Amino acid sequence: MWVLAWNFQAEATYYHRQTVHHEHSANMENLLPENLLPENLLPEVVPEVLPEVSQPVNSRTFYGIMFDAGSTGTRIHIYKFIQKDPVELPVLVNEMYHAVKPGLSAYKDKPEEGGNTIRALLKVAKKTVPEHEWKQTPVVLKATAGLRLLPEEKANALLDEVREVFGESPFFVQNNSVSIMNGTNEGMPFCWYVTNISLILFYTRKTVGILDLGGGSTQITFLPKSKKTVFTAPASYIANINMFNNTLQLYTHSYLGNGLVAARLATLGALGADVFTSSCLPKKFREDWTFGGITYKVSGIPDGYAGYKLCYYEVMRVVKGIVHQPFEIKGSSIFYAFSYYFDRAVESGLIDGSRGGIVEVRDFKKRAKEVCNKMTKYRPISPFLCMDMTYITCLLKEGFGFKDNTVLQVNKIFSLTRLNQYIIEVK
């Protein structure tokens, strides 16, 4: 959902606020002050259709359609922009969100069926975008870890099918409108850019980090405050971005194969046995489980022990030594956590699903212990909940190296519209 909006919203935001000037040094030693993130800027959970704002007379309206093809589902984001004045850039005023499951990668052997999921979502777009706007409304699909994990020929067959479906649609299809995002682009999400461009321009100049946990991959992105973070990180983890006539060095990386669902498969195989069993699953659990179009037989350990400690040991073998720990990650930075961080926090009762919530890393650990030691109680929610919560805990602590008291603002997805409404209010 990031690329299309980047070209409109980020530029429009900068244009409207270019009269606000802040000294911003490229020196990474002491880049940002230590003031707290304003509570009223925390994003909210996005409903499927967000409320419109009033449209000025003589304004022009533009639409854009973005498909986010993830490993566990395909999501469509339909953006509405208004150009209030001919000399100004469009401003995002509304977005619509809809999703279908499973993701495109599940159709690796049936690309035509994968194409039909795109057709179904395009019908939603046709109902949302006025017919007279169809021809000039661009449509783009960006695939992430799910397709990157597939053999190249199968991934290309799915992409070709999507291109054919796009060609049948009445919308504007540009060159390279269908593609797979590489790890760097996926690791540097648009929500980081828009969130922090707003904070720097409008309020505190303090940025926040972004954590995203998908099915096939997980991402971390933040602006380092210390040169040591940049110097000690792998070269591919540092991306240069231009912001306000300065080049900033962003720490960003996407770990392919370390998404929540991919980590389940790795954890199930952590014991090295032919049968996929785990101490993270209820003892009497027996089920066929499908990931990436392949079905596995998984179970708990019938005559063995289960619980948090044993589960943590299994999961740690999947995380330890694979995930890089940035030098300054144990500081007091605030991070926004999205996607499966939100889903599992809601399912385990850690936060309210209607608005998201603020938690500390230690809260995930505490709830993971409770879930794993009372698997029977939580099994109706998900037999994998112990494994998932333990993986999240291990990823945050053993993987990235966060401290127990690191603050996380947990939300399902990022709302461009709500952020834009905040920008309008402070203008």
What SS3 state is found at 219? strand
| Integer Cα distance of 319 and 363 in angstroms | 19
Q: How far apart are CA 47 and CA 96, in angstroms?
A: 8
> Which of 26-30, 207-211, 232-236 is predicted with the least confidence, judged by mean pLDDT?
26-30
pLDDT at 284 over 80: yes
- 359 or 60, which is more confident? 359
- Residues 177 and 268 placed together within one structural domain of the fold: no
Domain membership flag for residue 149: yes
**Domain edge (last residue) among 136, 163, 182:** 182
Q: Which of 151, 182, 213 is the last residue of a domain?
A: 182
pLDDT band per the 50, 70, 90 thresholds, residue 188: very low
Nearest C-alpha neighbor of 348 from the set 320, 311, 388:
388
In the structure encoding, which two tokens stand for residue 157, read together?
A: 């067959």
Looking at residue 416, what is its pLDDT? 46
* Whether residue 276 sits in one domain with residue 156: no
- Phi, psi dihedral angles at 71 (to 5 degrees): -75, -25
Q: Give the pLDDT score at 74.
A: 87
CB 42 within 8 Å of CB 70: no
Paired tokens of 397: 């602590």
Q: Is 215 annotated as a binding residue?
A: yes
Residue 37 lies in a domain: yes
Backbone angles phi, psi at 47, to 5 degrees: -70, 170
Catalytic position from the list 95, 186, 314, 328? 186
On whether 217 is known to bind a ligand per the annotation, the reply is yes
pTM for this one?
A: 0.65
123 CB burial (10 A radius; 0-12, 13-18, 19+):
exposed
Q: What is the pLDDT of residue 311?
A: 94
**Is 278 annotated for ligand binding?**
no
Please give the tally of structural domains in the chain: 2
Burial class (CB in 10 A: 0-12, 13-18, 19+), 242: exposed
Q: Which amino acid is at 72?
A: T
Cα–Cα distance, 224 to 212 (Å, whole number): 18
Please check whether residues 401 and 273 belong to one and the same domain: yes
Q: pLDDT value at position 414?
A: 54
Mean pLDDT, residues 277-305: 83
C-beta atoms surrounding 36 within 10 Å:
10
Residue 294 is predicted with a pLDDT of 77
Question: Looking at residue 341, what is its pLDDT?
Answer: 94
60-69 and 139-143 beta bridge pairing: parallel
DSSP summary character for residue 171: S
Which of the listed ranges 19-23, 91-95, 118-122, 326-330 does the model predict with the highest average pLDDT?
A: 118-122
Stretch (H or E) spanning 93: strand 91-100
Q: Is 360 a catalytic residue?
A: no
Q: Is 218 annotated as a binding residue?
A: yes
393 marked as binding residue: no
**Residue indicated by tokens 């409903």:** 47
Q: Write out the residue range of the structural domain in which residue 284 sits.
A: 260-322+357-410
Mean pLDDT of 90-95: 72
List, for residues 45-67, the tens digit of each pLDDT value: 333 444 444 555 567 888 888 88
154 and 11 in a single domain? The answer is yes
Asked whether the beta carbons of 48 and 417 are under 8 A apart, the reply is no
Last residue of a domain, which of 182, 214, 242? Answer: 182
Residue whose structure tokens are 């409109």: 8
**Half-sphere CA count of 6, side-chain side, radius 13 A:** 12
Q: Is 247 exposed, middle or buried (0-12, 13-18, 19+ CB in 10 A)?
A: exposed
pLDDT above 70: percentage of residues in the chain? 71
Q: Which CATH number is 41's domain given?
A: 3.30.420.40
Taking a C-beta distance cutoff of 8 angstroms, is the pair 210, 189 a contact?
yes
